[in-house]
Structure 1
Amino acid sequence: MSVRETWATRIGFILAATGSAVGLGNIWRFPFLTGESGGAAFLVVYLLLVVAVGIPILLVEFVIGRRSKRNPIGAFDQLGHANWKFAGAVGALAGFIILSYYSVVGGWVIQYLLASFTGGYGAEAEAFFLSTASGPTTVLFHAVFMTVVAGIVALGVRNGIEKAATVMVPSVIVLLVGLAIYGSTLSGASAAYQYYLYPDMSTLLGDALSVLPAAAGQAFFTLSLGMGVMITYSSYLDEDRNLLRDTGFIVVIDTGIAILAGLVVFPFLFTQGVTPGEGGAGAIFISLAGAFSQLPAGELIGGVFFFMLLLAALSSAFSIFEVVVSFIIDTFDVDRVPASIGLAVIIFALGIPTALDLTYLDTYDKFANNILLILGGLLLSLFVGWVYAAESREELDKGRSSGRFGSVWLNTVRFVVPPVLLVTLGLAVVEYYEFIQSTFF
């Protein structure tokens, strides 16, 4: 077996894990889901789920990964519970599906970035998106994006993933802050903030139930939970790392960027009189391209935005890619380069249907995020809470004693997380069935 790599620096792991969380999920998916789901009510439910479920599950994955030093599937063999391998397999499958369409959207971003230099999307924003979103050119840029991702991962944990994240994540944060400041000067900023940050308390409970599956799926997606990323990344950790502190850093940065993304996107939409949430996943591209084309120095602003979006997309894509590469290396003792090349070809092939027909994007997205990620999180919480509790608490206390928080965490994983995720999963299955019926029948 090859020697398992470790992170070169403490900040490298934090930035890589944050980069996994800070991707298209925060900057592309979060604003359009917030718009689809009623604005501030969605934001409130999302934040509650991050605290009540996201933080405990992130720690669950860190504990499993660092203790096993294996990929999400092999981890359960290493921990002596091979009959639980299916829990890791669910997450790996989710990541596989997500990356197949994520790479297609990453290809869109590259096309928009190139068009920003020429004003290519101009006044015909919808026509440009339709030509970008599906067809042979889309397949080509899907291949370009996947090639870049595979190239970064092939370089290794330290020389590829860690170095890339160290540059990309701070750049994303700086560019987002700059765009948010610019957005605050637009005429639609006040209305955007009202819509985004001030929920209608009289309808919040009813809204909360209706947006629960989407908010839970988004919380898992943005924190890279349930898909094996954090198990894989923590498997490269040294034993003396303080998992509680690292979790706090990652959650705060990720959640802050998710909220910041809304402060960037919504002022542009409201300034152009666009209703948030209309038109699905592609609406953000259409609306923002139209908005940029109407602004002074719009080509420059658009270029900055899509460059930032590309960095964010890459930082999370190579983390999902690493999950399966790690499994291939651990299981078959294959070198990293051929494992990366072979996997890139497979994922590229799986993404071709999405690159040719947008219907597949929503179909894959809702299934992977709202069902598989939640199911994966539920299974992991049951394993740590009821099967591997004593060992998990021991692992959590390495580096620094967790004290009373460790007991609170374990009880939350046992008694709070499973029922919340079970209810959410039930609602998500019903919602997905209705979506399939209305879309294909």
Structure 2
Amino acid sequence: MSEQPSKREGWSTRVAFILAAVGSAVGLGNIWRFPFITGENGGAGFLLVYLLFIGIVGFPAILVEFVIGRKTDRNPVGAMREIGHGIWKYVGWVFVVTTFVIMSYYSVIAGWTIRYTVLGLQDGYKADIAAAGEQFGQLSSGLEAMALHGLFLLAIIAIVGLGIRRGIELAVKVMVPAIIAIVLGLAAWASTLSGASEGYSFYLSPDLGRIMADWTSILPAAAGQAFFTLSLGFGIMITYASYIDEDRNLATDGAIIICFDTVIAVLVGLIVFPILFSAGVDPGEPGPGAIFVSLSAAFGDLSLGGVAGAVFFGTVIIAALSSAISLTEVVVSYAVDEHDIPRLRATVLVCALLFVLGLAPAYDIVLLSLYDGLMDGILLILGALLISVYVSWGWSDEALEELENGVGDLGPLGPTWVWLVRIPVIAVLLVSLWLGILDYVDFLTGDFADWLGEL
């Protein structure tokens, strides 16, 4: 293994770091995943639990990744090898493996958004939900899905291969403001639709009874979404924080990133649910393809729905790209830092391997669910749990010292942060991990077993 390169790129400004972190958070997690997870878990009740998790769990957890990254100036593998002891030195591998596999099917889903954008500009969407489902089945797998998966990865190579300042930083400075502007415009348009009031009621009026009755499904879904949307458990925030200076106020930056991410997530709900209710489409349809089926059917039933759909799915492409560059950067930074591979060569190699691994989920959506259930429901939570345990119980003094760089003495707020990680963060992650394992076992013995039986 080679030594870490003596000179390492960094963000040119604080704004660049914040935009990059927001761009990572505001991706498919917000615009693809958030609406269907919210819909299948009852709407407003899920939203309430999700917002609680963002504050109680998400904010303390993002600071955990920030202090590790800035302290070590390394990727997750190098960072944990530097600060860890014994078996803890190898925890960084959980992040790299998880992020690598997630990126392999993330790019497949991003390929769907490309196809649905083009569809809106050409033949339009099927207004009937059954026809929309059949259309999704045809578009979501097969050679075309594989080709679009590859096309999206080529865009990633073009950005990540150029480096931090000339590639990632320039890209997010364009993409993040564009996402915010388009989402605001779509939310304003959705408010004029006939089903807006019903959509708002479903989305913003929580049923506490539903929360109590379905907490075993709502809790892990909300926790997983909070971590997914904030890019926690991927090692992204460790990697991005490794490129920042010592004089940054990490707590302020974390709060800004979380606020932007949460506001955009909420705005996306204000777009999606009025559209669905206006077209009489069930918002609770489960599954990773639900938002494509439900929304395309809704757009197909609306005046100028093809144009609106193309704008919406075009926005999802931009958001997917802003997140995908951060996912890829975790693995590329490992190759660059630990093996001294030139950045462009490392990016091409990583994306070539991602293309091969992503052929399975592009072949059949059941295999995408197989990947997603293990990565998002188990390993993502496991990685976040392991570093939360280590930082709060075994490395808390060093973590507090790093957090205070650029801030000054935190007083009682410092120990409060540590105890928030030690108790609520770890407790939520433990419960979510257990429930995620149970859900994955159900999938393996149910849908996946059925799929194997049909082969």
Q: Calculate the TM-score normalised by the size of structure 2.
A: 0.94
Alignment match, 2:401? 394
- Letter of the structure 2 residue corresponding to residue 19 of structure 1: G
Using the TM superposition, give the Cα deviation of residue 120 of structure 1 relative to its aligned residue in structure 2, in angstroms: 4.0
Q: Write the letter of the residue equivalent to 1:100.
A: S
Q: Which residue of 1 aligns with 2:355?
A: 348
Distance 1:2 1:155 in 2: 19
CA distance in 2, matches of 1:76, 1:8: 26
Shift of 1:80: 5.4
Aligned with residue 94 of structure 2, among 85, 90, 95: 90
1:128 Cα deviation after fit: 2.9
Secondary structure of the structure 2 residue equivalent to 1:435: helix
Q: Equivalences for 1:94-243 in 2 at 5 Å?
A: 94-123=98-127, 124-243=131-250
Match of 2:26 among 18, 22, 26: 22
1:42 pairs with 2:49: no
Q: Map 1:418-429 onto structure 2 (within 5 A).
A: 418-429=426-437
Aligned-pair CA distance for 1:362: 1.7
Count of equivalent residues:
441
Which of 267, 289, 306 is matched with 2:274 structurally?
Answer: 267
Q: Verify: 1:319 aligned to 2:319, yes or no.
A: no
Matching of residue 435 in structure 1 with residue 443 in structure 2: yes
Deviation at 1:277, TM superposition (A): 2.4
What are the within-5 Å matches in structure 2 for residues 380-391 of structure 1?
380-391=387-398
Please report how far the alpha carbon of residue 396 of structure 1 lies from its aligned counterpart in structure 2 after TM superposition.
0.2
Inter-partner Cα distance in structure 2 for 1:417 and 1:227: 16
Secondary structure in 2 aligned to 1:323? Answer: helix
In the alignment, is residue 71 of structure 1 matched against residue 75 of structure 2?
yes
One-letter code aligned to 1:287: S
Matches within 5 A, 1:356-371: 356-371=363-378
- 419, 444, 449: which one aligns with 1:411: 419
| Aligned counterparts of 1:80 and 1:142: Cα–Cα separation in 2 | 36
1:207 offset after TM fit, Å?
Answer: 2.6
Task: Note if contact 2:80-2:90 (Cα within 8 Å) is conserved in structure 1.
Answer: no
Divergent runs of 4+, >6 A: none
Cα offset, 1:349, TM superposition: 0.4
Root-mean-square deviation (CA, aligned residues, Å) is 1.4
Change beyond 3 A, Cα 1:203–1:297 = closer
Give the percent of matched residue pairs that are identical in Structure 1 and Structure 2.
Answer: 51
* CA positional deviation for 1:93: 1.5
1:246-286 per-position Cα deviation (integer Å, ceiling 9, x unaligned) = 00000111111111111111111111111112152212112
Q: Could you list the runs of 5+ residues in structure 2 that have no partner in the other structure? A: 450-455
Task: Show structure 1 runs of 5+ residues with no match.
Answer: none
Aligned partner letter, 1:359: V
| 2:426 alignment partner AA | P
User: Is the 8 Å Cα contact of residues 57 and 225 (structure 1) preserved in structure 2?
Assistant: yes
1:12 aligns with 2:16: yes
Per the TM alignment, residue 222 of structure 1 is displaced from its structure 2 partner at its CA by 0.2
Cα deviation code 1:297-336 (max 9, x no counterpart): 2222122111111000000011000000000001110100
What is the identity, as a one-letter code, of the residue corresponding to 1:413?
A: V
Deviation at 1:122, TM superposition (A): 4.6
Relative to the length of structure 1, the TM-score reads 0.97
Aligned amino acid, residue 410 of structure 1: V
Deviation, 1:2, is 5.2
Paired letter, 1:18: V
Please say if residues 60 and 381 of structure 1, whose CA atoms lie closer than 8 Å, have aligned partners that are also in contact. yes
2:191, 2:124 → 1: CA distance? 26
Change (3 A) 1:367 1:309: same
Alpha-carbon shift at residue 125 of structure 1 (Å): 3.1
